[in-house]
Amino acid sequence: MTRFSRPTGTQDILPEDQPYWEHLRTRVAEIACSYGFVRIDTPMFEATQLFTRGVGEATDIVEKEMYAFKDKGDHDIALRPEFTAGVMRAYIENGMQVLPKPVKLYSIGPIFRYERPQAGRFRQFYQFNAEVIGVQSPLADLEIMLLGWDIYASFGFQNLSFQVNSTGCPKCRPQYIEQLKTHYKAHKAEICDDCKRRLQVNPLRVLDCKQEQCQPVMESAPKMMRHLCKECDEHFAALRGYLDSLERQYTVNHKLVRGLDYYTKTVFEVWAEGIGAQSAVCGGGRYDGLIELLGGPATPSVGFAVGMERVVMVMKDQNTPVPPLPEPTVFVAFLGKASQHYAVQLLVKLRQTGIAALGAMSGSLRSQLRQADKNKARITLIVGEDEIAQGVVTLRDMKTGSQEAIPMGQIVNVIQQRFP
Ligand code: HAM
């Protein structure tokens, strides 16, 4: 018989890891809500064209990593390789442009990218994503960056800092790209084949190359920051000014271009100590042209996303304490087959009154008590023929082992009072 394995690059999140995930999901949602974000859920798949147009045809995400296919109705469909394009499609389609600005939306869910799996890199992974829609002010960039920072800080990341850059806008970027191309063409013999290709299809991405041989060419390349138009320059300076006045650690990283074509002006990542090669747990930036590109009104916006697996990895490495998941406090055991009906009626009654209870399904009383212990029940209620005849239930305190008979009609009250 064939034994099936999970697809490469995916993972099973087993029960023992669920407390980390539950805490992470709850806490990021709480922080986002405290910042005034509201949740939006969009489909896990969309028309492929939404991503080719929104994220960019020549990006790695679209060109190499997208799970794209024809569905049974011959539609071109892709599993979402990121949230932003889908959220903007939903913003336009649901007429959210009439809402007062900014519109602040967050999402949590799985993302799909056909990447080469390695530590912290998966083909299905979870993102927490947040967008501030409709504000041009760099205060919106700051808001998103502070949210990223607070999320990191609340999960025990140490020595936080921002990596920040400006990628300009359609007014100033083309001239910069020409200069970059000229510089790289002068060093054509020294650069890798991938960079030669990038120069043709997506020149900014040469700044993202990790090949040793390309580093000197990259170091001596013209810097976008020196070629920004007045508007982009002022925007970037104002953002840095806010970071300075808040005394947040940041580095202007001229090589930070990020892998999505929609970015304009600010791009950033939050870096933290102790996450090794995967120092970027979150990244984002401004995308002033995206909504218009997708058929909506011109709407400046900024957002970011956190890779949640990477946060869980850090929490586990650092033994970050997480609250346990709720567990049943009461175990209902039966003595003899004839008592099963009575026991199950009691179980249902407890649950209907809101008491978290678990019922035995089989086994001797001794093995049922072992099961109650394993489930960390605080009390076990034992129902046998004697109890039924007397109209009582035996209440066993699992810590002390003491037992007492409680009249059936009072059992709910007794549990609620003694084990609130
Ligand atoms: P991104 O940088 O492509 O940005 O992804 C954001 C985060 O997702 C990364 O920093 C990383 O933590 C995580 N991530 C990416 N790929 C993987 C993977 N294969 N396995 C595990 N984690 C991964 C975006 O997706 C943009 N949509 C962010 C954004 C929102 N920009 C504006 N608004």
Residue 132 Cα to ligand 1 midpoint, Å, equals: 17
pLDDT band at 329 (very low <50, low <70, confident <90, very high): very high
DSSP string for residues in 236-277: HHHHHHHHHHTT--EEE-TT---S-TT--SEEEEEEEET-TT
CB-ligand 1 contact for 162 (6 Å cutoff) = no
The Cα–Cα gap between 134 and 279 comes to: 30
Q: Which of 304, 259, 292, 52 is nearest to 170 (CA)?
A: 292
Q: Across the chain, what does the average pLDDT equal? A: 94
The gap from C-alpha 343 to its chain's centroid, in whole angstroms, comes to 43
Q: For the chain, how far is it from start to end, CA to CA, in angstroms?
A: 51
Q: For position 131, what pLDDT does the model report?
A: 98
CB-ligand 1 contact for 110 (6 Å cutoff) = no
Is residue 398 over pLDDT 60?
yes
pLDDT tens string 8-44:
999 999 999 999 999 999 999 999 999 999 999 999 9
pLDDT tens string 194-232:
999 989 888 998 998 889 999 999 999 999 999 999 999
Is residue 119 over pLDDT 90?
no
Edge-to-edge order in the sheet of strand 76-79: 45-47, 76-79, 68-70
* Ligand 1 atom closest to 303 (CA): 33
Q: For position 292, what pLDDT does the model report?
A: 97
Extract the tokens encoding 191. 């650069």
Residue 82 Cα to ligand 1 midpoint, Å, equals: 7
* Ligand 1 atom closest to 278 (CA): 12
3-state percent helix, strand, coil for the chain, nearest multiple of 5: 45, 20, 35
Is residue 5 over pLDDT 90?
yes
pLDDT tens string 51-90:
999 999 989 999 999 999 999 999 999 999 999 999 999 9
CB-ligand 1 contact for 307 (6 Å cutoff) = yes
Contact 264, 145 (CB under 8 A): no
CB-ligand 1 contact for 125 (6 Å cutoff) = yes
pLDDT band at 274 (very low <50, low <70, confident <90, very high): low
CB-ligand 1 contact for 131 (6 Å cutoff) = yes
Is residue 157 over pLDDT 80?
yes
CB-ligand 1 contact for 384 (6 Å cutoff) = no
Q: For position 326, what pLDDT does the model report?
A: 86
Give the mean pLDDT of 250-263: 93
Say whether pTM exceeds 0.85.
yes
Residue 326 Cα to ligand 1 midpoint, Å, equals: 31
CB-ligand 1 contact for 303 (6 Å cutoff) = yes
pLDDT band at 317 (very low <50, low <70, confident <90, very high): confident
Give the mean pLDDT of 155-168: 92
Q: For position 279, what pLDDT does the model report?
A: 60
Q: For position 275, what pLDDT does the model report?
A: 65
